């Protein structure tokens, strides 16, 4: 069994920017020619998340809209008092979505649904450059 760790540097616009990173993960899998195992996808940082979605224009609007209702960006949070910054909502959204996803692969193919893409969501209130780690564990 092999453990291979790769990384991608991805620029975002922040503010719930949703970036499809499925091809980044697929590229790593093809490069290393692993057949069976798991791909763990992890974003470094406490104001971003890794999830999956059907990556289409409607849901790219729906997700930020529903988050604005549950965790509004214009509310004051205790975190903002701690550091004097204004991204309490970004941290809370990141914690709820989580910072990683594990996708199994078989015969060199990610076992994603046809309409299921792996996404990086940047919840911070400004553009960021994110480091996404892809760790392949398999043979």
The answer to whether 64 touches 49, Cβ cutoff 8 Å, is: no
Residue 87 or 117 having the CB closest to Zn ion: 87
94 binds Zn ion (CB under 5 A): no
Figure out which of the listed residues 4, 22, 51, 85 binds Zn ion, where binding follows CB under 5 A: 85
The answer to whether 79 touches 32, Cβ cutoff 8 Å, is: no
In degrees to the nearest 10, what's the CA dihedral of 102, 14, 19, 71?
Answer: 60
Return d(Cα 51, Cα 29) in angstroms, integer.
18
6 binds Zn ion (CB under 5 A): no
Residue 6 or 85 having the CB closest to Zn ion: 85
The answer to whether 43 touches 99, Cβ cutoff 8 Å, is: yes
125 binds Zn ion (CB under 5 A): no
Take residue 72 and report the two structure tokens written for it. Answer: 């509004």
Q: Are strands 2-12 and 128-138 parallel, antiparallel or unpaired?
A: antiparallel
From 18-26, 70-78, 83-91, 98-106, span contacting Zn ion (CB under 5 A): 83-91
80 binds Zn ion (CB under 5 A): no
Min dist CB 11 to Zn ion, Å, is 20
From 9-17, 32-40, 77-85, 94-102, span contacting Zn ion (CB under 5 A): 77-85
87 binds Zn ion (CB under 5 A): yes
Q: What residue ranges bind Zn ion (CB under 5 A)? A: 85, 87
């Amino acid at each position: 069994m092999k453990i291979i760790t790769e990384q991608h540097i991805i620029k975002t616009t922040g503010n719930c920017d949703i970036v499809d990173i499925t091809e980044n993960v697929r590229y790593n899998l093809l490069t290393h020619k692993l057949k069976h195992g798991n791909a763990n996808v992890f974003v470094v940082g406490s104001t971003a998340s890794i999830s999956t979605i059907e990556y289409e224009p409607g849901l790219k609007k729906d997700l930020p809209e529903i988050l604005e209702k549950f965790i509004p960006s214009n509310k004051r949070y205790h975190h903002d008092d701690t550091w004097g910054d204004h991204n309490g909502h970004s941290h809370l959204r990141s914690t709820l979505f989580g910072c990683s996803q594990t996708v199994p692969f078989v015969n060199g193919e990610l076992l994603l649904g046809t309409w299921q893409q792996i996404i990086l969501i940047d919840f911070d209130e400004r553009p960021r450059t994110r480091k996404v780690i892809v760790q392949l564990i398999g043979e």
